[in-house]
Amino acid sequence: MKKILSIIFLFIMMLFNTVSAEEMYKIKGINIDTTSSVIFINTIGTYQTSITNGIKLVKIPDEHKVYFDIASSVLISKKQDLFFNSGAIKEIKISQFTTNPNIVRVVMYFDDNYNIDTLKIGNINNNLVIMTQELSDKFAQFYQNTYRDNEKLAEDYYNPLIIQTETNNTQPAVLNSNNKYSNKELVQIQQAFGESNASNYKELVRSELSDNIHLRSKYYINSVSSQNKGFLISGYGYPTIQKPFVLTNPTRMVFDLVNSNINQSYNNKEIPLNPNNLAGDKIKIGRFDSNITRIVVTSENAKQYLPIFSPDNQSLLIANPANLASNSFSANRANIIRYKYQKNLSTDDFTLTFDNPVVWGIKRNTDNLYVYFFNAAQYNDTIFKNTINNTPYGDLELALLKNIGIRLTLPLNSSNEINTYFSGDGKNFRIRATNLKSKVKKETPVVVATNPKGKTIVIDPGHGGSDYGAIREGINEKDINLDVAKQVQSILERKGFKVKMTRTNDMYVSLEDRCKITNSSNPFLFVSIHVNSCVGTEPKGIETHYYHDNSIELANTIHSKMTKEIKTPNRGLFKSKFYVINHTSVPAVLLEIGFISNDKERAELVTKRRQQATAEAIAEGIIEYFNNHK
């Protein structure tokens, strides 16, 4: 509500202000949040009048285009033309339109589904703010990262972005042979931040290893107040809370808002919960470093405080739920209407869908994740239990708590890492976890090995780290290779084999090092796992490669297991001089377990079913070969 009022206020300001002849706005560049729904046109300097004064939006609905001119303004960076692959805004251009008079023009292109009539423009601290509102259904599904366990990483604050090159090509910028983007592209990105200093450059170099260039996200805290028996923080963009921690003497709870900024008039101000009791609970909020705004709650009950998100995720109430009146959030009841479990390459998702926007709070401690849905009233326990059964979320619990709502509890251990996401419509809550242990009892492979002790098998997941292997539609060969290889490892280890992995995580290992690891462990055999690709989208199926003649039988054994277990074309055995199978003396094969360039096969290759079937076939082939040669 506060936000709506302030937007109305901004529009009123626009009507009454006039530009004085002396004012010249210095425009620094564009900044955008990861929802692509809040854009900042940053200025430097201070101004008597509002930059929004006199701005008229020109809308061209047929082209999904909106442009406007900023009078009395100079673009101090070079002109920018940025493309986005998520959110409502597809492209934004800013340039010096004329120099006499000085006019800067901003042109934006929107997604076909976005209604450009709902576009809003405002002014925050001399920055021009463009907000896309009433997002269409498609964007209402867009998930925002609301909570994260892990420490900040520069690259995590960036969102995939496509930069236009001179050839008018909108493909992602291509890495050169040194895995670096060209200088020109880096400069373009830096200009997107209106910065060109060295520290910023370093952050960009860190993120350049991914296949898309990333752009900074943003939450702008516009006001902080004591309200509704908690501390209300409201702003623009969306907040992401990092794992909270406790300080003692006095007891304080610390919540860091990553990649955020704060209105100067609230920076480092202390606000008491009750203005008549300055010794009671209080909050202090301020800039901690260039990326983090830190919220510190001082209270004897500091540990009870938790962040409660508004359904639009733009406001946070930091509160002790015990202080809140039982009917605080009762205006609109929200029932859980759907549950969904989804397995990803290295994470597991669980999503709850509500019939109405939900007010929710999050609490994370060493052993548990608790999520409170304060205005939630009903859920179907049978459907819930059926959904989590046989998934890594088997220990998840829901409970209806009197005067609170629904509480979700997820038991955790130290290897789990949690992220939560919320959809733009306020109705979908998602947990993303790593290393949750599956409750499924896995079936053991048919073939049983005898006395495998002492024999080492080397499993080589192809590529890794900065070497992505083949990439299609955001799916990386290196990730599939690793997932399948790890499953082969665990099957073999359960059978008593010693398994040496050339890598166990997403790291770069050179081909030479892979061979060194292999030859130094004096193994029984070597299996390298890869996913195939080609320019065409038609080819699919399985290939097995060997080079030395002592590897033909191993190749045959694994290949026939794979082609028997997996329904995809058998493309046959190949004698190929691949480095890793040429430089190993023991029987060595390189498996191409499918084509990432074929849409259907790529979709299959990321499923648990296909990966498990592949891993089992490979393990069975290895065990059968072993039994024939022990």
Question: Which positions are catalytic?
Answer: 592
Distance (Å, rounded) from C-alpha 533 to C-alpha 304?
53
Question: What is the separation of C-alpha 349 from the centre of its chain, rounded to a whole number of angstroms?
Answer: 12
Please name which of 265, 258, 283, 259 lies closest in space to residue 222, comparing C-alpha atoms. Answer: 265
Tokens of residue 48, six digits: 């008597």
Query: Cβ atoms within 10 A of the Cβ of 83, count?
Result: 16
Distance (Å, rounded) from C-alpha 93 to C-alpha 107?
5
Q: With beta carbons less than 8 A apart as the criterion, state whether 526 and 516 touch.
A: no
Distance (Å, rounded) from C-alpha 414 to C-alpha 458?
29
Q: Which is nearer to Zn ion, 239 or 462 (CB)?
A: 462
Q: Which is nearer to Zn ion, 69 or 467 (CB)?
A: 467
Q: Which residues contact 13 (CB under 8 A, 6 or more apart)?
A: 50, 52, 123
Q: Which is nearer to Zn ion, 162 or 618 (CB)?
A: 618
Q: Which is nearer to Zn ion, 462 or 621 (CB)?
A: 462
523 to each of 105, 500, 546, how far by Cα in Å? 66, 9, 17
Distance (Å, rounded) from C-alpha 434 to C-alpha 346?
7
Distance (Å, rounded) from C-alpha 342 to C-alpha 391?
9
Q: With beta carbons less than 8 A apart as the criterion, state whether 348 and 248 touch.
A: no
**Dihedral sign (CA 287, 288, 291, 297):** negative
Number of residues written out for the chain: 630
598 to each of 33, 472, 485, 531, 562, how far by Cα in Å? 34, 9, 21, 11, 18
Q: Which is nearer to Zn ion, 495 or 530 (CB)?
A: 530
Q: Which residues contact 402 (CB under 8 A, 6 or more apart)?
A: none
CB of 425 to Zn ion, least distance (A): 40
Distance (Å, rounded) from C-alpha 317 to C-alpha 297?
12
Please name which of 581, 611, 578, 608 lies closest in space to residue 594, comparing C-alpha atoms. Answer: 611
CB of 533 to Zn ion, least distance (A): 8
Q: Which is nearer to Zn ion, 321 or 462 (CB)?
A: 462
Buried b (16+ CB within 10 A) or exposed e, 447-464: bebeebeebbbbbbbbbb
Please name which of 156, 129, 157 lies closest in space to residue 38, comparing C-alpha atoms. Answer: 129
380 to each of 211, 265, 496, how far by Cα in Å? 42, 47, 43
- 């790593």: which residue's tokens? 434
CB of 529 to Zn ion, least distance (A): 9
Q: Which residues are at the interface with Zn ion (CB under 5 A)?
A: 462, 469, 530
Q: Which is nearer to Zn ion, 417 or 467 (CB)?
A: 467
Residue nearest to Zn ion (CB): 530
Q: With beta carbons less than 8 A apart as the criterion, state whether 138 and 113 touch.
A: yes
**DSSP characters for 218-260?**
-EEEEEEEEETTEEEEEEEE---EEEEEEETTTTEEEEEEETE
**DSSP characters for 587-618?**
-EEEEEEEETTSHHHHHHHTSHHHHHHHHHHH
Tokens of residue 74, six digits: 């100079």
Q: Which is nearer to Zn ion, 449 or 529 (CB)?
A: 529
Q: Which is nearer to Zn ion, 303 or 583 (CB)?
A: 583
Tokens of residue 231, six digits: 């501390």
Q: Which is nearer to Zn ion, 405 or 469 (CB)?
A: 469
